[in-house]
Chains A and B, each alone.
Chain A
């Protein structure tokens, strides 16, 4: 069974631009969560989707948004990029409705650099 895939793996953008990251969960997984990882702030929870509905959200500004499609694939969008948005963005999927309470399988991440 294929693991969680994230595209693109690397991305370079400039301040003010917007970016969309994609995540394909493991087949059959319906819960998808997103995390931001930076050297300064560590790992921070962004949001979780289950069956196309956002059911939990971290403490990030409204510039960070996401959605989930009927096939469980998820996208994350960041508008009006700031230098501080440079980070590794990780996506994780879980097989059951328990989402973050259960084992999450992480993708390799998308490395976003904002210049």
Chain B
């Protein structure tokens, strides 16, 4: 079954620095891929999703992700971190075998002033 693996459970970046969150998926067919963010004490919010229309997907709050089939990756980036980006980020995929949404373990981002 398809799943996603998020490399690094915690990432710490300085304000203004690049944010890079890694996500790899296992799939034999182009999947639906998502990045969600969960701010402290809040529900999840969709950052962006990949649906095969374009390999570079732009999301909200300055985030973007690039789908690389050869690397089975869907890494999330933001050029310049802001204090408000401190949150937990989840990569997710809709599995093609059972059409269920499967989440990665999450990556917690802290932003240093």
**CB-CB < 8 A to B105: which residues of A?**
42
Q: Are B43 and A45 in contact (CB under 8 A)?
A: no
Interface of B is mostly: strand
Minimum distance in angstroms from A47 CB to a CB of chain B: 10
Q: Are A101 and B106 in contact (CB under 8 A)?
A: no
CA distance A33 to B90 in the complex (A): 17
Q: Is B46 an interface residue (CB 8 A)?
A: yes
Minimum distance in angstroms from A6 CB to a CB of chain B: 9
Interface residues on B, range: 20 to 34
Partner pick for B44 among A56, A58, A101, A106, CB 8 A cutoff: A106
Listed A/B pairs (28) with beta-carbon separation below 8 Å: A33-B101, A42-B103, A42-B104, A42-B105, A42-B106, A43-B44, A43-B90, A43-B106, A44-B103, A45-B101, A45-B102, A56-B99, A56-B100, A58-B100, A90-B43, A92-B44, A100-B99, A100-B101, A101-B94, A103-B46, A103-B49, A104-B44, A104-B46, A106-B43, A106-B44, A106-B45, A107-B43, A108-B42
